[in-house]
Every structure is written in structure tokens, then in C-alpha cells.
Amino acid sequence: MKTNRRLTALYLLCACLLSACAVRTLPPVQVDEPLDARRYQVTLVAHDGVELGVTVWQPTLAAGESAPLVMHSHGFGLQRMDGRFGMYENLLPSGQIAKQLWQQGFWLITWDQRGHGDSGGEIDVMNPDLEVRDVSTLLDWAEKNISRLARDADGDIRVGMVGESYGGGVQMLATVQEPRIDALVPMTTWYDLETALSPHDVPKGGWIKTLYLMGDWWNFRKLNADVRESFHQARRGVISEEFQQNYANHSLKYFCDKGQLPHADALLIQGLRDMLFDVQQTLSASECFRQAGRDVNVIVQEGGHLLPMVQRSPSMPIWYVEKTLHCMDQPMATEDIAVQWLQSKLEDGHASADLVQNLPPICLSAGEWGASLAHWPTAAQQERIALAPVTLQGSSSGSWRWLTATGDWFRGWRGETALTETFAAPRDSGLRPAFIPLYLATTEEKRFGTPNIYLQKKSPALNGAPQNLSDEKTPAQLDDQARVLVGLVVRRAGKAKLQIIDDQITPVPFNQQIDLAPVAVSLAPGDQLGVVLFSRDRQFNTTDIDFADGIEVSGSIELPATLAHLRAVGGIVMPSLSKDVASAASLKAPPKGAVADSVVRSTNNTSVQENVSP
């Protein structure tokens, strides 16, 4: 009898333990109890049955204290910050921003996007019904399971988001679907995925190959079949109309064009050297937020996505942002600005409110100089210059750069007078790009803006047409699709090298006014601006452009205006932020507590909790 009782008691104890773990909530939290910092690893089930790997970061809170929620998501091919050793925990700025907020008393949720890390499903590149809807699943769960979330006067939970690239894209789309989100910090992400990946119908082959490797090899065979096939086609230089139609709503532009606007305020951070998502993506997105009546600030700095084996990085390979911003009277830490911006949006009466109120609509930080801007310069402030005619030949201009760079190095040994004479005249293309001189600086200058170019050509209709086009197309159709690669360049005084400003190259069709990527450049006396035209580049290596026996190209270009000119015009360049307010950006609140770690698994509305050592 005693044995039976013992077995029964043991059975009941096991059943009790299991049932205590099989709850939808985190371990019960009493409102009148203080909380220590902890992490919980959770598996949630999405609306379609896909499991999502999630980490809940519980902050240090006093008895009765509640806190806002911050959500952080990772870049393409990576995985969530789960508190163990990883890139976000130790290196990437968006993870450091999220950790700072958690250490200062915010709840934090990080999760693996579909097809990444511990999450199931496939990668569908921000499908509104899949990846984006998962944000609502996370918020629903948080409202039901985290009892100490801060709420506004209407009873809505206070929610902010931060993340870069892919983790920025989910923010841009989630803010359309989710009114519960109050503030966003998307870093180096897209507004229009189509124009970002295939400007003027020329795929960015270098980045498309890189993204394919990260999406289908790093996360082995996790790409959606349609996405995988579209990657294969893009690597052959083709973006199908079907793909464009099916994936149009994976961009904020699609919803803004339909009048479905963001619900959240935004701090948008973009990079001048970003060859994947250039600054125009963020400038366009900011207009959508303003149209919605939201508060929006833009930070334009030098970093962003860097094409592997092509662009050099001053810090991390592939991606970085400037650590310090120079658009105000004194340098400010980028991470701290983002932290304090989110604090001011999610906490009433936060000390950083003055700083945020004084942030300019656009903070331009280009290395060691910058400016506070009311808006980005327009064509009205820029000077249009006629382009001298040059001849483009064959399909090799821009290739063999190691060889031409060596020649430029030797040419740089000549005196400045000889170099100035050499580069004073236009140069036809050969192995080197065609070069057209534009301007020689006589004083120190800072220029920034969006160059606009118009090209026309004298040639047979077929010349300049990408070679992957169908032979069945008419000469007129081929002529309409002819492209030339264009970059604005600077030649430093005493040097022969032509440096493409901010590494930005644009495929330009003929007989159209085309905006190049926004740029910023500092000039010293003797520095020369020009434009190069060519047919080969590793960024656009899926499309062969052939000018055969030669075409003559001419046209005009608008140069970015000088900072001095824009100050004189008025209405664009703003007074710098006062030093008293700017100094607040360098202050960090100390962490509120140490951290322990737990694991919770929630599947089919059940959870299993397991303690883990810190």
C-alpha cells in the first residue's frame, strides 16, 4: 500500500511539474515584486503552424514598475541575438542599441526570421502574410504573457523596433499593418526592393550572388522556391515581370502608393557607400512617413552594405555604420542617439527629449564633416553642366582594373601641371572608362546632393543593348533598353586615379533624365570632379553591355551643390545643435542589473521551462 502511495505521489508530482511547465506564459510575475534581469528562450507557433525561435529579455524592474517593449531582428542570413556569444551581442550596432535599452530597463524580444536560426519555414523576403505577420504574433504573445509592459493613456502597449537591413525591412512593413508599434529605427534598409536590386532593369549581380549564398547556403536550402528561381534568373541578368508583380508588396513603397501609411515615428539611418540600398531609398521612405503625419528623422552617414571583394571597410566587412556623427557642433555616438531617440518616444518625460526635439530632419555625416539639414537639396539648388561628347567602344571598358590602376599609379608620378593638362580634356573609353571633366576646385568645398544626368547617343539602334536581350526584339526596343554604367568621380590633386565618389554606380538609359545615387564629397584646391561612362563592373556583372564599333555619347549633368551655396540660399542648412544638448548624447545610463538565463519552449500553446546557468 505504501509503495502504491509513493508511486501515486511520484506520479502526481511529475504531472504537477509537467503541467506547471505547460503554460502559455512566462513564470508568473507579481506586480509588487522586483524583477531581476533574465533571458528566456521561447518557441512560438505562428498562425500557419511555423515555429519561431524567440528570446525574451526581462529587464531589472522595481516592485510595481512596468517598462516599454523593444523588438530587435537580424539581417539577412544571420540569426537572432539570444544572449549567447554572437555578432549582435558583441559587434553589430543594432544589437548594441537593443542591449543598451534592455540594460536601462526595457523589455526586449529578439527573434529568428523564417528560414533563419531556430525558426522553421522558408525565406520569402518579407512577405506581408508571413514574415511581417509574425510581428503581430509576437506582439499578441507579449500582451498575454508579459504583465509588466508599459502602456499609454489609451491602454496600448508601448513598442519600439530596431534592426538593420533585413531587420529594417520588417519594421518598414510592420508599421503599416501594426498600429501598436510606436517607434522604429530601421538601419540601411529598403523602401522599394525592385529599384534597389535592379535599377533601370539591370540586376545588381554582385549583391544578388552574395544574397543568394547567404540565403540558400548559409541557411541551407531555406529560400522559397520562387525566390530561389528569381535569384537564378537575376544572376543571368533577368528580373521577370511575374516576380516583380508577386513581390511588389514586399516593399513599403507599394503601400505608400496605395495610401496605406506608417503608424509609427521613425529614425531612418542610411549609408552613402551602401551599394545595395542607397540613400535615395531612405529619402523616399521619409516622405512616406511625413505624408502619414509621423515624426521622422534621417541620418545619412558613410557606412552601409559593402560588396565583398569590391569595397573596403574601415571596420567590419560587408556592413558597417559610422560610430560617430558630425552633423552638430560636437561629435555624437550613433548608437547613443538611437537609444535616446527610442527612449524619448517610448517613455514620457525622458531626459533625452530635448536632444530628440533638436535633432534636424536630416543629419548628414560624411566622415569628419557634416551638416544639419531641413531637407535634402533639390534640382533647383544644383548647377547643370553640359557633357562634352565621348566615344564608347566594345564591352571591356571598366574591366582589368588591377592593370589600369597600376598604370594610374605610375602616371601619378608626373607633376600636377602635366596631370591637370591630361585630365582637362575628355577621354574615350578603352579598357579604362570614358572620362568627361566637369569642375576643378580652387578652394576647399563640401558638396552633397543627388546628381541628375541626361545622356544621348549617335549610333545604330543596336549599340549598347545588353546582350542577354532576346534576338526577337525590334531595333527600337533594343535601343530603349540600352544602358551605360555611370559614376561621378573625383581626382585628387597630384594623383592620376579617378575615384568613384561613395562607390556609387548607376546603369543609365539614354534619352531620359536619371537621378544618380545621392553622394557627398569634400574637395581641396586642385581636386577635380568628372564623370565616367563604361560597360563593365562587378556590381552589375550579370549584364554584358557592348558598344561594338563605337557610339558617341553627350548630354548634361547636375552637380551636387556646395555647402556654402546652400547656406547662402537659405532654408536647407540649419544651425547646428547647441553643445549643451549635443553633450547629452554621450551620456549612458548604467545597466540596471546583472543577468541570469532561462529557456522556455512554447509549442501548440504550451511551454516547457528549463533553468540555465547565467
Give the tens place of pLDDT for each residue, 332-386: 999 999 999 999 999 987 767 677 778 999 999 999 999 999 999 998 899 899 9
Judged by average pLDDT, the poorest of 163-167, 320-324, 355-359, 495-499 is 355-359
551 in Cβ contact with 459 (< 8 Å) = yes
Residue 6: the pLDDT is 44
Q: Which range, 113-117, 239-243, 585-589, has the best average confidence (pLDDT)? A: 113-117
What's the whole-number mean pLDDT along residues 182-189? 98
Question: Which has the higher per-residue pLDDT, 3 or 400?
Answer: 400
Question: Which has the higher per-residue pLDDT, 365 or 611?
Answer: 365
Query: Confidence band (pLDDT; 50, 70, 90) for 400?
Result: low
Judged by average pLDDT, the poorest of 198-207, 244-253, 470-479 is 470-479
Q: What is the phi/psi pair of residue 277, to 5°?
A: -125, 100
> Going by C-beta distance under 8 Å and a sequence separation of 6 or more, which residues neighbour residue 373?
360, 361, 362, 363, 364, 572, 573, 574
Q: Is 17 exposed, middle or buried (0-12, 13-18, 19+ CB in 10 A)?
A: exposed
Give me the chain's average pLDDT, please. 85
What's the whole-number mean pLDDT along residues 287-302? 97
Residue 208 corresponds to which cell in the numbers above?
A: 544578388
Q: Residue 92 and residue 76: Cα distance in Å, rounded?
A: 13
Q: Is residue 299 predicted with pLDDT exceeding 70?
A: yes
Residue 602: the pLDDT is 41
Q: Residue 275 and residue 164: Cα distance in Å, rounded?
A: 15
Q: Is residue 472 predicted with pLDDT exceeding 50?
A: no
pTM: 0.88
Residue 50: the pLDDT is 97
Q: Residue 456 and residue 392: Cα distance in Å, rounded?
A: 12
Question: Which has the higher per-residue pLDDT, 6 or 310?
Answer: 310
Contacts 24+ apart (CB under 8 A), 40-44: 40/598, 40/599, 40/600, 40/609, 41/82, 41/597, 41/598, 41/599, 41/600, 41/601, 41/612, 42/600, 42/601, 42/602, 42/607, 43/118, 43/601, 43/602, 43/603, 44/137, 44/138, 44/141, 44/602
DSSP 114: T
Q: Which domains does the chain have, with CATH numbers?
A: 37-266+595-612 (3.40.50), 384-560 (2.60.120)
Residue 427 corresponds to which cell in the numbers above?
A: 577621354
171 in Cβ contact with 189 (< 8 Å) = yes
Residue 398: the pLDDT is 72
Q: Is 497 exposed, middle or buried (0-12, 13-18, 19+ CB in 10 A)?
A: middle
Residue 600: the pLDDT is 43
Residue 399: the pLDDT is 67
> Going by C-beta distance under 8 Å and a sequence separation of 6 or more, which residues neighbour residue 423?
435, 437, 491, 496, 528, 530
Q: Residue 451 and residue 383: Cα distance in Å, rounded?
A: 10
Judged by average pLDDT, the poorest of 105-114, 478-487, 499-508 is 478-487
Q: Residue 534 and residue 450: Cα distance in Å, rounded?
A: 20
- DSSP labels for 561-602? EEHHHHHHH-SSEEPPPPHHHHGGGG--PPP---EEEEEEEE
pLDDT above 90 coverage of the chain, percent: 61
Q: Residue 92 and residue 124: Cα distance in Å, rounded?
A: 24
Judged by average pLDDT, the poorest of 150-164, 194-208, 402-416 is 402-416
Tell me the pLDDT tens digit for each residue of 246-289.
899 999 999 999 999 999 999 999 999 999 999 999 999 999 99
Q: Is residue 543 predicted with pLDDT exceeding 90?
A: no
Residue located via cell numbers 544589437: 95
